[in-house]
């Protein structure tokens, strides 16, 4: 299949290859629009079906893994339009990928970008990575699992700080919090992620599949309720003047004035 917003490759020995997907919208720092998300899920599911692929690497560019959901595309949504569009159905399909996904991040890992990263299984970050949930700066909240997954990984107080101030953290801070597995120099982060994927590719694919499924079972079982709760609140914010003002101000490159309505 040919894709417009991602680059898809396979590497390695026949029968035990790894699949590599790179997000590729450099002009907007890999902002996640509907088209990119659709392509990403198709590519992930294609690798999941293909027997010779044993592990998947998901990456972006050195400057940005992804700077979040596409604010331009989202800015005019209403509560009803965004709910009916149900983009999260696409995100839910990422959760159902059976093969391990090693995420190689660098540069900006923000908003939906951070949430996408947290859907992966093992994370390698470059030293230049900045990770955060800055949605509060544009009058909304994380909508693709950020309030739930970040809290589980880093704990309540750090999650509160990140989500309520919108300030990003550095790669070494993320490592200390257990949000990423490894931090390596920028020229090595993709290679390191591929090395981990190749290591997994040598194991029994059945054992790998059941191991991933088992870890996610404990991790995901009670999360579904939290995800629905967060989703409703995210939709509700598209009725607010602050969401309109926050996203408009971003697109007009000015500071927002929030009214609290």
Binding site for ligand CO8 (CB under 6 A): 28-29, 31, 67-72, 87, 108, 110-112, 134-135, 137-138, 142-144
CB of 140 vs ligand CO8, minimal distance in Å: 6
Active site residue 69: yes
- Of the pair 100, 134, the CB lying nearest ligand CO8 is at 134
Of the pair 204, 257, the CB lying nearest ligand CO8 is at 257
Which of 77, 115, 192, 230 is catalytic? The answer is: 115
66 is catalytic: no
Q: Please report how close the Cβ of residue 260 comes to ligand CO8 at its closest, in angstroms.
A: 20
Dihedral (C-alpha) 33, 25, 52, 114: value to the nearest 10 degrees? -60
Q: Which is nearer to ligand CO8, 47 or 88 (CB)?
A: 88
Q: Which member of 31, 43, 64, 69 is catalytic?
A: 69
Q: Are strands 6-11 and 17-23 parallel, antiparallel or unpaired?
A: antiparallel
Complex with ligand CO8: residue 100 or 107, whichever CB lies closer: 107
Minimum distance of ligand CO8 from residue 170's CB (angstroms): 14
Return the SS3 of 99: coil
Nearest approach in angstroms of CB 129 to ligand CO8 is 12
Partnered with residue 124 across adjacent β-strands are 104, 182
What number of H helices and E strands is found in the chain? 12, 10
- Round to whole Å and give the CA distance between 65 and 59: 6
249: which DSSP letter?
H
Residue 112 is a catalytic residue: yes
Question: Which alpha helices (DSSP H) does the chain contain, by range?
Answer: 34-49, 71-74, 79-85, 88-95, 112-118, 146-154, 156-165, 171-177, 189-201, 205-220, 223-237, 241-251
CB of 53 to ligand CO8, least distance (A): 27
Compare residues 33 and 59 and give the one whose CB is closer to ligand CO8.
Answer: 33
**Is 127 tagged catalytic?**
no
Each as own residue / partner, the long-range contacts of residues 202-205 (CB below 8 Å, 24 or more positions apart, any chain) are 202/16, 202/54, 203/54, 205/54
Give the residue numbers annotated as catalytic, written as ranges: 69, 112, 115, 135
């Amino acid at each position: 299949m040919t894709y417009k917003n991602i680059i898809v490759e396979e590497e390695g020995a026949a029968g035990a290859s790894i699949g590599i997907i790179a997000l590729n919208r450099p002009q907007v720092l890999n902002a996640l629009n509907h088209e990119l998300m659709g392509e990403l899920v198709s590519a992930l599911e294609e690798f999941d079906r293909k027997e010779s692929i044993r592990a998947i690497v998901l990456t972006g560019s050195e400057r940005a893994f992804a700077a979040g959901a596409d604010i331009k595309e989202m800015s005019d949504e209403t509560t009803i339009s965004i709910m009916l569009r149900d983009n999260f159905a696409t995100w839910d399909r990422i959760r159902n990928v059976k093969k391990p996904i090693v995420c190689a991040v660098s540069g900006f890992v923000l908003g939906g970008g951070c949430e996408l990263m947290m859907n992966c299984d093992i994370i390698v970050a470059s030293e230049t990575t900045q990770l955060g949930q800055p949605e509060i700066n544009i009058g909304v909240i994380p909508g693709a699992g950020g309030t739930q997954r970040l809290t589980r990984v880093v704990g309540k107080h750090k999650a509160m700080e990140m989500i309520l101030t919108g300030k990003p953290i550095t790669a070494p801070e993320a490592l200390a919090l257990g949000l990423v597995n490894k931090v390596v120099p920028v020229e090595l982060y993709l290679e390191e992620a591929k090395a981990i994927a190749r290591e997994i590719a040598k194991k029994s694919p059945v054992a790998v599949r059941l191991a991933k499924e088992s870890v996610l079972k404990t991790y995901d079982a009670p999360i579904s309720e939290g995800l629905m709760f967060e989703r409703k609140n995210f939709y509700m914010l598209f009725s607010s003047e602050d969401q309109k003002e926050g996203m408009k101000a971003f697109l007009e490159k000015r500071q927002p004035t929030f009214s609290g309505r």
